[in-house]
Protein backbone atom coordinates (compact mmCIF):
# COMPACT_ATOMS: atom_id res chain seq x y z
CA UNK A 1 0.00 0.00 0.00
CA UNK A 2 1.44 3.40 -0.99
CA UNK A 3 1.82 6.02 1.72
CA UNK A 4 -0.86 8.76 1.76
CA UNK A 5 0.08 12.38 2.15
CA UNK A 6 -2.79 14.68 3.10
CA UNK A 7 -1.53 18.20 2.57
CA UNK A 8 -2.58 21.75 3.31
CA UNK A 9 -5.54 20.79 5.46
CA UNK A 10 -6.87 22.63 8.48
CA UNK A 11 -5.81 20.01 11.01
CA UNK A 12 -8.14 19.61 13.95
CA UNK A 13 -6.78 17.28 16.60
CA UNK A 14 -8.67 17.72 19.88
CA UNK A 15 -6.39 15.23 21.67
CA UNK A 16 -3.64 17.86 21.66
CA UNK A 17 -5.73 21.00 21.01
CA UNK A 18 -4.23 21.37 17.56
CA UNK A 19 -5.98 23.66 15.08
CA UNK A 20 -3.49 24.63 12.38
CA UNK A 21 -2.71 24.30 8.74
CA UNK A 22 -0.53 21.28 7.96
CA UNK A 23 -0.13 17.79 6.59
CA UNK A 24 -0.72 14.22 7.69
CA UNK A 25 1.38 11.32 6.51
CA UNK A 26 -0.08 7.84 6.56
CA UNK A 27 2.17 4.83 6.19
CA UNK A 28 1.06 1.21 6.47
CA UNK A 29 -2.31 2.10 7.96
CA UNK A 30 -0.77 4.20 10.75
CA UNK A 31 -0.30 7.91 11.17
CA UNK A 32 3.41 8.54 10.57
CA UNK A 33 3.35 12.25 11.25
CA UNK A 34 1.10 15.28 11.61
CA UNK A 35 1.95 18.96 11.34
CA UNK A 36 3.61 21.59 9.20
CA UNK A 37 7.13 20.27 9.00
CA UNK A 38 6.66 16.87 7.42
CA UNK A 39 7.34 16.01 3.80
CA UNK A 40 5.87 13.46 1.39
CA UNK A 41 7.81 10.35 0.48
CA UNK A 42 8.34 10.03 -3.28
CA UNK A 43 5.90 7.16 -3.79
CA UNK A 44 3.09 8.73 -1.71
CA UNK A 45 -0.40 9.46 -2.97
CA UNK A 46 -0.58 13.20 -2.35
CA UNK A 47 -3.94 14.82 -1.82
CA UNK A 48 -4.35 18.54 -1.57
CA UNK A 49 -6.91 19.37 1.13
CA UNK A 50 -6.83 23.13 0.79
CA UNK A 51 -9.99 24.57 2.38
CA UNK A 52 -10.90 21.26 4.03
CA UNK A 53 -10.63 20.01 7.59
CA UNK A 54 -8.71 16.89 8.59
CA UNK A 55 -9.84 15.38 11.87
CA UNK A 56 -9.56 12.09 13.69
CA UNK A 57 -12.04 9.52 12.39
CA UNK A 58 -15.30 10.34 14.16
CA UNK A 59 -16.62 8.01 16.86
CA UNK A 60 -20.35 7.56 17.35
CA UNK A 61 -20.87 6.10 20.79
CA UNK A 62 -24.56 5.33 20.32
CA UNK A 63 -25.93 3.50 17.27
CA UNK A 64 -28.32 0.67 16.56
CA UNK A 65 -27.04 -1.60 13.80
CA UNK A 66 -30.03 -4.00 13.99
CA UNK A 67 -27.93 -7.10 13.24
CA UNK A 68 -28.61 -9.78 14.39
CA UNK A 69 -32.36 -9.94 14.00
CA UNK A 70 -33.67 -6.97 12.04
CA UNK A 71 -31.51 -7.05 8.95
CA UNK A 72 -34.33 -5.59 6.86
CA UNK A 73 -33.74 -2.29 8.70
CA UNK A 74 -29.94 -2.27 8.76
CA UNK A 75 -27.00 -4.62 8.90
CA UNK A 76 -23.52 -4.23 10.28
CA UNK A 77 -22.44 -3.84 6.65
CA UNK A 78 -24.93 -1.11 5.71
CA UNK A 79 -24.76 0.60 9.09
CA UNK A 80 -20.99 0.91 9.02
CA UNK A 81 -21.17 2.02 5.36
CA UNK A 82 -23.46 4.80 6.57
CA UNK A 83 -20.96 5.52 9.35
CA UNK A 84 -18.10 5.81 6.86
CA UNK A 85 -20.20 8.08 4.63
CA UNK A 86 -20.84 10.29 7.65
CA UNK A 87 -17.15 10.54 8.58
CA UNK A 88 -17.26 7.97 11.39
CA UNK A 89 -14.54 5.37 11.63
CA UNK A 90 -15.93 3.76 14.79
CA UNK A 91 -19.35 3.14 16.29
CA UNK A 92 -20.57 1.65 19.56
CA UNK A 93 -23.66 -0.46 18.91
CA UNK A 94 -26.45 -0.96 21.39
CA UNK A 95 -27.53 -4.43 22.53
CA UNK A 96 -31.26 -4.33 21.72
CA UNK A 97 -30.88 -6.73 18.81
CA UNK A 98 -32.62 -10.07 18.42
CA UNK A 99 -31.21 -12.02 20.17
CA UNK A 100 -30.20 -9.36 22.67
CA UNK A 101 -26.46 -8.88 23.08
CA UNK A 102 -26.41 -10.22 26.62
CA UNK A 103 -24.00 -13.11 25.96
CA UNK A 104 -20.43 -13.42 24.77
CA UNK A 105 -21.67 -15.41 21.76
CA UNK A 106 -23.64 -12.46 20.44
CA UNK A 107 -20.82 -10.03 21.23
CA UNK A 108 -18.39 -12.23 19.30
CA UNK A 109 -20.85 -12.56 16.41
CA UNK A 110 -21.06 -8.77 16.10
CA UNK A 111 -17.30 -8.37 16.19
CA UNK A 112 -16.81 -11.09 13.58
CA UNK A 113 -19.49 -9.68 11.28
CA UNK A 114 -17.89 -6.24 11.59
CA UNK A 115 -14.50 -7.68 10.70
CA UNK A 116 -15.96 -9.49 7.67
CA UNK A 117 -18.37 -6.88 6.33
CA UNK A 118 -17.76 -3.60 8.15
CA UNK A 119 -16.44 -0.25 6.98
CA UNK A 120 -15.88 1.03 10.52
CA UNK A 121 -14.64 -0.21 13.87
CA UNK A 122 -17.54 -1.66 15.81
CA UNK A 123 -17.55 -1.65 19.60
CA UNK A 124 -20.40 -3.69 21.05
CA UNK A 125 -22.26 -2.35 24.07
CA UNK A 126 -23.66 -5.32 25.98
CA UNK A 127 -26.84 -5.55 28.03
CA UNK A 128 -26.86 -4.62 31.71
CA UNK A 129 -29.53 -7.22 32.41
CA UNK A 130 -30.36 -10.50 30.72
CA UNK A 131 -32.81 -9.96 27.88
CA UNK A 132 -32.96 -6.23 28.77
CA UNK A 133 -35.60 -7.26 31.25
CA UNK A 134 -34.17 -5.47 34.25
CA UNK A 135 -34.30 -8.57 36.42
CA UNK A 136 -30.90 -10.32 36.40
CA UNK A 137 -27.41 -8.96 35.69
CA UNK A 138 -25.71 -10.04 32.48
CA UNK A 139 -22.22 -11.61 32.74
CA UNK A 140 -20.07 -8.49 32.66
CA UNK A 141 -16.69 -10.23 32.87
CA UNK A 142 -17.49 -12.70 30.11
CA UNK A 143 -18.91 -9.98 27.88
CA UNK A 144 -15.91 -7.72 28.41
CA UNK A 145 -13.53 -10.53 27.55
CA UNK A 146 -15.49 -11.08 24.34
CA UNK A 147 -15.08 -7.41 23.46
CA UNK A 148 -17.97 -5.48 25.01
CA UNK A 149 -16.83 -1.94 25.89
CA UNK A 150 -19.77 -0.77 28.01
CA UNK A 151 -23.16 -1.88 29.33
CA UNK A 152 -26.61 -0.51 28.66
CA UNK A 153 -30.21 -1.70 28.48
CA UNK A 154 -30.75 1.06 25.91
CA UNK A 155 -34.25 1.18 24.55
CA UNK A 156 -35.33 0.35 28.06
CA UNK A 157 -34.42 1.97 31.33
CA UNK A 158 -33.33 -0.25 34.22
CA UNK A 159 -36.62 0.47 35.94
CA UNK A 160 -35.95 -0.91 39.40
CA UNK A 161 -33.61 1.43 41.29
CA UNK A 162 -32.36 -1.50 43.35
CA UNK A 163 -31.32 -3.31 40.19
CA UNK A 164 -29.62 -0.20 38.81
CA UNK A 165 -27.72 0.17 42.05
CA UNK A 166 -26.57 -3.45 41.83
CA UNK A 167 -25.45 -3.00 38.24
CA UNK A 168 -23.49 0.15 39.01
CA UNK A 169 -21.95 -1.48 42.06
CA UNK A 170 -21.05 -4.66 40.17
CA UNK A 171 -19.53 -2.58 37.37
CA UNK A 172 -17.09 -0.92 39.78
CA UNK A 173 -15.41 -4.28 40.22
CA UNK A 174 -14.46 -4.24 36.54
CA UNK A 175 -14.11 -0.50 35.99
CA UNK A 176 -16.96 -0.97 33.53
CA UNK A 177 -19.02 1.89 32.13
CA UNK A 178 -22.80 1.91 32.45
CA UNK A 179 -24.78 3.86 29.87
CA UNK A 180 -28.15 4.95 31.16
CA UNK A 181 -31.24 5.24 29.00
CA UNK A 182 -32.90 7.43 31.60
CA UNK A 183 -36.66 7.20 31.50
CA UNK A 184 -39.22 6.89 34.28
CA UNK A 185 -41.72 4.60 32.58
CA UNK A 186 -44.42 5.40 35.10
CA UNK A 187 -44.53 8.83 33.46
CA UNK A 188 -43.86 7.85 29.85
CA UNK A 189 -45.67 4.58 29.18
CA UNK A 190 -48.39 4.87 26.54
CA UNK A 191 -47.19 8.34 25.56
CA UNK A 192 -45.71 9.40 22.26
CA UNK A 193 -44.04 12.82 22.08
CA UNK A 194 -43.05 15.69 24.35
CA UNK A 195 -45.87 16.81 26.62
CA UNK A 196 -46.51 20.43 25.74
CA UNK A 197 -48.09 22.72 23.21
CA UNK A 198 -47.69 20.27 20.33
CA UNK A 199 -49.02 17.20 22.16
CA UNK A 200 -52.12 19.21 23.08
CA UNK A 201 -52.47 20.49 19.53
CA UNK A 202 -52.20 17.00 18.03
CA UNK A 203 -54.37 15.30 20.64
CA UNK A 204 -51.65 12.86 21.65
CA UNK A 205 -50.55 11.91 25.16
CA UNK A 206 -47.20 13.50 25.88
CA UNK A 207 -44.12 12.49 27.85
CA UNK A 208 -43.20 15.12 30.44
CA UNK A 209 -39.57 16.26 30.70
CA UNK A 210 -39.72 15.08 34.29
CA UNK A 211 -39.74 11.47 33.04
CA UNK A 212 -36.13 11.99 31.98
CA UNK A 213 -35.02 14.36 34.74
CA UNK A 214 -36.17 12.04 37.52
CA UNK A 215 -34.43 9.02 36.02
CA UNK A 216 -31.19 10.94 35.43
CA UNK A 217 -31.25 12.28 38.97
CA UNK A 218 -31.76 8.75 40.32
CA UNK A 219 -28.89 7.28 38.31
CA UNK A 220 -26.52 10.13 39.09
CA UNK A 221 -27.20 9.77 42.83
CA UNK A 222 -26.74 6.01 42.64
CA UNK A 223 -23.46 6.35 40.73
CA UNK A 224 -22.26 8.87 43.29
CA UNK A 225 -23.26 6.59 46.15
CA UNK A 226 -21.50 3.47 44.88
CA UNK A 227 -18.64 5.33 43.17
CA UNK A 228 -19.41 4.00 39.70
CA UNK A 229 -18.85 5.49 36.24
CA UNK A 230 -22.10 6.54 34.61
CA UNK A 231 -22.75 7.83 31.13
CA UNK A 232 -26.12 9.42 30.40
CA UNK A 233 -27.36 8.69 26.88
CA UNK A 234 -29.33 11.05 24.61
CA UNK A 235 -29.83 14.06 26.89
CA UNK A 236 -32.99 15.87 25.75
CA UNK A 237 -34.04 18.17 28.61
CA UNK A 238 -32.84 21.30 30.35
CA UNK A 239 -33.42 19.51 33.65
CA UNK A 240 -30.93 16.79 32.74
CA UNK A 241 -28.31 19.35 31.75
CA UNK A 242 -28.72 21.07 35.13
CA UNK A 243 -28.48 17.80 37.07
CA UNK A 244 -25.34 16.68 35.24
CA UNK A 245 -23.71 20.09 35.55
CA UNK A 246 -24.24 20.01 39.31
CA UNK A 247 -23.03 16.40 39.60
CA UNK A 248 -19.86 17.13 37.66
CA UNK A 249 -19.14 20.10 39.91
CA UNK A 250 -19.39 17.73 42.87
CA UNK A 251 -16.95 15.31 41.27
CA UNK A 252 -19.39 12.55 40.38
CA UNK A 253 -17.96 10.30 37.64
CA UNK A 254 -20.69 11.12 35.16
CA UNK A 255 -20.48 11.89 31.46
CA UNK A 256 -23.21 12.63 28.95
CA UNK A 257 -24.08 12.67 25.29
CA UNK A 258 -26.76 14.35 23.26
CA UNK A 259 -27.90 13.69 19.71
CA UNK A 260 -27.87 16.19 16.84
CA UNK A 261 -31.67 16.25 16.66
CA UNK A 262 -31.94 17.53 20.23
CA UNK A 263 -29.91 20.63 19.42
CA UNK A 264 -31.32 21.03 15.89
CA UNK A 265 -35.06 20.47 16.25
CA UNK A 266 -37.94 21.00 18.64
CA UNK A 267 -41.30 19.33 19.14
CA UNK A 268 -42.59 21.46 16.26
CA UNK A 269 -41.02 18.92 13.89
CA UNK A 270 -43.74 16.45 14.89
CA UNK A 271 -46.61 18.68 13.66
CA UNK A 272 -48.50 16.84 10.93
CA UNK A 273 -47.99 13.55 12.78
CA UNK A 274 -44.50 13.21 11.31
CA UNK A 275 -43.34 9.76 12.42
CA UNK A 276 -39.84 10.60 11.15
CA UNK A 277 -39.63 13.02 14.06
CA UNK A 278 -40.76 10.42 16.60
CA UNK A 279 -38.05 9.18 18.92
CA UNK A 280 -37.49 8.42 22.58
CA UNK A 281 -36.68 10.65 24.36
CA UNK A 282 -38.84 12.95 22.25
CA UNK A 283 -37.94 16.29 20.69
CA UNK A 284 -38.51 18.95 23.33
CA UNK A 285 -39.11 22.68 23.60
CA UNK A 286 -36.90 25.49 22.33
CA UNK A 287 -35.66 26.20 25.85
CA UNK A 288 -34.48 22.60 26.16
CA UNK A 289 -32.73 22.85 22.81
CA UNK A 290 -30.91 25.99 23.94
CA UNK A 291 -30.00 24.43 27.30
CA UNK A 292 -28.45 21.48 25.47
CA UNK A 293 -26.35 23.82 23.35
CA UNK A 294 -25.25 25.55 26.56
CA UNK A 295 -24.42 22.15 28.01
CA UNK A 296 -22.20 21.43 25.01
CA UNK A 297 -20.56 24.85 25.32
CA UNK A 298 -19.61 24.44 28.98
CA UNK A 299 -18.69 20.74 28.58
CA UNK A 300 -21.55 19.51 30.77
CA UNK A 301 -22.38 17.38 27.75
CA UNK A 302 -19.24 15.60 26.57
CA UNK A 303 -20.24 13.92 23.37
CA UNK A 304 -22.46 14.13 20.33
CA UNK A 305 -23.80 10.67 19.47
CA UNK A 306 -26.45 10.03 16.86
CA UNK A 307 -28.66 7.32 18.41
CA UNK A 308 -28.83 6.09 14.79
CA UNK A 309 -32.01 4.00 14.86
CA UNK A 310 -33.02 2.64 11.47
CA UNK A 311 -36.62 1.60 10.88
CA UNK A 312 -38.35 0.55 7.68
CA UNK A 313 -41.58 1.88 6.22
CA UNK A 314 -43.39 -0.90 8.08
CA UNK A 315 -42.62 0.77 11.39
CA UNK A 316 -42.88 4.38 10.21
CA UNK A 317 -45.62 4.72 7.57
CA UNK A 318 -48.37 4.00 10.08
CA UNK A 319 -50.39 5.79 12.74
CA UNK A 320 -48.20 8.03 14.90
CA UNK A 321 -49.13 6.24 18.11
CA UNK A 322 -48.16 2.88 16.63
CA UNK A 323 -44.97 4.00 14.88
CA UNK A 324 -41.57 2.96 16.21
CA UNK A 325 -39.29 5.40 17.99
CA UNK A 326 -36.02 6.47 16.44
CA UNK A 327 -34.35 8.15 13.47
CA UNK A 328 -31.17 7.49 11.53
CA UNK A 329 -28.34 9.91 12.19
CA UNK A 330 -24.94 8.74 11.02
CA UNK A 331 -25.01 10.57 7.69
CA UNK A 332 -26.47 13.84 8.94
CA UNK A 333 -24.44 14.30 12.14
CA UNK A 334 -21.57 16.28 10.62
CA UNK A 335 -23.65 18.97 8.91
CA UNK A 336 -25.92 19.34 11.95
CA UNK A 337 -22.98 19.58 14.34
CA UNK A 338 -21.27 22.08 12.05
CA UNK A 339 -24.31 24.30 12.48
CA UNK A 340 -23.11 24.79 16.09
CA UNK A 341 -19.90 26.21 14.64
CA UNK A 342 -21.66 28.30 12.01
CA UNK A 343 -23.83 29.83 14.72
CA UNK A 344 -20.70 30.51 16.83
CA UNK A 345 -21.65 28.21 19.73
CA UNK A 346 -18.65 25.89 19.36
CA UNK A 347 -15.27 26.13 17.65
CA UNK A 348 -14.51 23.60 14.91
CA UNK A 349 -12.08 21.95 17.33
CA UNK A 350 -14.78 21.58 19.99
CA UNK A 351 -17.24 20.15 17.48
CA UNK A 352 -14.65 17.53 16.54
CA UNK A 353 -13.87 16.93 20.23
CA UNK A 354 -17.50 16.02 20.92
CA UNK A 355 -17.44 13.68 17.95
CA UNK A 356 -14.08 11.96 18.48
CA UNK A 357 -11.68 12.35 21.40
CA UNK A 358 -14.37 12.72 24.07
CA UNK A 359 -16.30 9.57 23.10
CA UNK A 360 -12.97 7.71 22.79
CA UNK A 361 -12.05 8.81 26.29
CA UNK A 362 -15.41 7.87 27.77
CA UNK A 363 -15.43 4.44 26.14
CA UNK A 364 -11.66 3.99 26.69
CA UNK A 365 -11.12 2.96 23.10
CA UNK A 366 -8.32 4.05 20.79
CA UNK A 367 -8.79 6.82 18.28
CA UNK A 368 -9.91 10.40 18.60
CA UNK A 369 -6.38 11.56 17.85
CA UNK A 370 -4.05 12.32 14.91
CA UNK A 371 -0.85 11.68 16.84
CA UNK A 372 1.91 9.71 15.13
CA UNK A 373 1.75 6.01 15.85
CA UNK A 374 -2.02 5.74 16.01
CA UNK A 375 -4.32 3.98 13.56
CA UNK A 376 -4.86 6.07 10.44
CA UNK A 377 -8.57 6.63 11.11
CA UNK A 378 -9.09 10.04 9.58
CA UNK A 379 -12.08 12.10 8.56
CA UNK A 380 -11.83 14.89 6.01
CA UNK A 381 -14.67 17.40 6.11
CA UNK A 382 -15.65 19.96 3.52
CA UNK A 383 -17.48 22.53 5.65
CA UNK A 384 -18.99 24.13 2.54
CA UNK A 385 -20.14 21.02 0.66
CA UNK A 386 -23.86 20.55 0.36
CA UNK A 387 -25.54 17.25 1.02
CA UNK A 388 -28.99 16.56 -0.32
CA UNK A 389 -30.63 14.03 2.01
CA UNK A 390 -32.52 11.65 -0.26
CA UNK A 391 -33.24 7.95 -0.17
CA UNK A 392 -30.74 7.46 -3.02
CA UNK A 393 -27.98 9.46 -1.32
CA UNK A 394 -28.18 7.62 1.99
CA UNK A 395 -26.12 4.50 2.45
CA UNK A 396 -28.14 3.33 5.42
CA UNK A 397 -30.73 0.70 4.55
CA UNK A 398 -33.39 2.95 6.09
CA UNK A 399 -34.27 6.57 5.47
CA UNK A 400 -36.29 7.46 8.58
CA UNK A 401 -35.03 10.96 9.19
CA UNK A 402 -36.82 14.29 9.59
CA UNK A 403 -34.11 15.76 7.35
CA UNK A 404 -35.20 13.68 4.34
CA UNK A 405 -35.61 16.01 1.39
CA UNK A 406 -33.49 18.73 2.98
CA UNK A 407 -30.17 20.07 1.79
CA UNK A 408 -27.61 20.24 4.61
CA UNK A 409 -24.31 22.07 4.58
CA UNK A 410 -21.00 20.45 5.49
CA UNK A 411 -20.04 16.90 4.77
CA UNK A 412 -17.40 14.24 5.26
CA UNK A 413 -15.67 13.88 1.89
CA UNK A 414 -13.06 11.29 2.81
CA UNK A 415 -12.94 8.69 5.56
CA UNK A 416 -9.86 6.56 6.11
CA UNK A 417 -10.07 3.43 8.22
CA UNK A 418 -6.63 2.05 9.09
CA UNK A 419 -5.33 4.03 6.14
CA UNK A 420 -7.87 2.63 3.68
CA UNK A 421 -10.47 4.86 2.04
CA UNK A 422 -13.92 3.65 3.12
CA UNK A 423 -15.63 6.81 1.86
CA UNK A 424 -14.21 8.97 -0.87
CA UNK A 425 -15.86 11.88 -2.63
CA UNK A 426 -12.58 13.55 -3.58
CA UNK A 427 -12.17 11.70 -6.85
CA UNK A 428 -8.67 10.67 -5.84
CA UNK A 429 -7.48 7.23 -6.90
CA UNK A 430 -5.53 5.47 -4.17
Partner 1 sequence: MNRISSRHILSISDLMHQDIELILDTADSLKEILARPIKKVPPLRGRTVVNLFFEPSTRTRLSFELAAKRLSADTVSVAAAASSVVKGETLIDTARNVEAMRPDVIVLRHSCSGAPHLMANYVKTAAVINAGDGMNEHPTQALLDLFTVKEHFGRLSGLKVAIIGDIAHSRVAHSDILAFTKMGADVFVSGAATMFPVMIETMGARVVPRPEEAIEGADVVMALRIQKERQGGRSLIPSVREYAAVFGLTSERMRLAKPGAVVMHPGPINRGVEMAPELADGPYSVILDQVTNGVAVRMAILSLILPEDHLTSL
Instruction: Give the residues lining the site for Zn ion (CB under 5 A).
Output: 154, 181
Which of the listed partners (partner 1, Zn ion, none) does 197 bind, with a CB threshold of 5 to 8 Å by partner kind?
A: partner 1
Name the minimum Å distance from CB 265 to Zn ion.
Answer: 17
Q: Which is nearer to partner 1, 143 or 323 (CB)?
A: 323
Say how many residues touch partner 1, by CB under 8 A.
Answer: 22
Name the minimum Å distance from CB 179 to Zn ion.
Answer: 9
Q: Which is nearer to partner 1, 114 or 270 (CB)?
A: 270
Q: Which is nearer to partner 1, 21 or 185 (CB)?
A: 185
Name the minimum Å distance from CB 183 to partner 1.
Answer: 15
Sole binder of partner 1 in the list 30, 108, 133, 197 (CB under 8 A): 197
Q: Which is nearer to Zn ion, 26 or 241 (CB)?
A: 241
Q: Under the criterion CB under 8 A, does residue 206 sit at the interface with partner 1?
A: yes
Name the minimum Å distance from CB 353 to partner 1.
Answer: 37
| Residues 275-304 within binding reach of partner 1 (CB under 8 A) | none
Binding-site string for partner 1 from residue 84 to residue 123, where x marks contact by CB under 8 A and - marks none: ----------------------------------------
Residue 375 appears among annotated catalytic residues? no
| Residues 300-339 within binding reach of partner 1 (CB under 8 A) | 314, 317-322
Closest residue to Zn ion, judged by C-beta, is: 181
Q: Under the criterion CB under 8 A, does residue 196 sit at the interface with partner 1?
A: yes
Which of the listed partners (partner 1, Zn ion, none) does 429 bind, with a CB threshold of 5 to 8 Å by partner kind?
A: none
Q: Under the criterion CB under 8 A, does residue 255 sit at the interface with partner 1?
A: no
Q: Please give, one letter per residue, the 3-state secondary structure of the chain.
A: CCCEEEEEEEEEEHHHCEEEEEEEEEECCEEEEEECCCCCCCCCEEEECCCCEEEECEEEEEECCCCCCCCCCCCHHHHHHHHHHCCEEEEEECCCCCCCCCCHHHHHHHHHHHHHHCCCEEEEEECCEHHHCCCCECCHHHHHHHCCCEEECCCCCCCCHHHHHHHHHHHHCCCCEEEECCCCHHHHCCCCEECCHHHHHHCCCEECCHHHHHHHHHHHHHHHHHCCEEEECCCCCHHHHHHHHHHHHCCCCEEEEECHHHHHCCHHHHCCCCHHHCCCCCCCCHHHHHHHHHHHHCCCCCEECCCECCCCHHHHCCCCCCCCCCCCCCCCHHHHHHHHHHCCCCCHHHHHHHHCHHHHHHHCCCCCCCCCCCECCEEEEEEEEEEECCCCCCCCCCCCCCCCCCEEEEEEEEEEECCEEEEECCCCCC
Q: Under the criterion CB under 8 A, does residue 141 sit at the interface with partner 1?
A: no
Q: Which of 60, 302, 307, 382 is catalytic?
A: 307
Residues in contact with partner 1 by CB under 8 A are 189-190, 195-197, 199-206, 272-273, 314, 317-322
Please identify every residue annotated as catalytic.
307
Amino acid sequence: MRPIFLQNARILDPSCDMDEKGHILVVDGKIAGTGGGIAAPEDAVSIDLHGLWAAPGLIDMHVHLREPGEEYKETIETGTAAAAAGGFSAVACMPNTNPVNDSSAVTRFIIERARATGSAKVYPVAAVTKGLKGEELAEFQDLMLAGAIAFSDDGNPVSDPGMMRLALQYATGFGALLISHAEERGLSRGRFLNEGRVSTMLGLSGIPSAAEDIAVFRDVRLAEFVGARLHVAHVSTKGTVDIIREAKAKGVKVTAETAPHYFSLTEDAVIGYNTNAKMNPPLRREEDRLAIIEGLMDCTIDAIATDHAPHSRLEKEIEFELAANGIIGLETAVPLALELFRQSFLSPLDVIRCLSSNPAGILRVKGGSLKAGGDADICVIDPEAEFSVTRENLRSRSCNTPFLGKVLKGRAVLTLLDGLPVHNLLGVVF
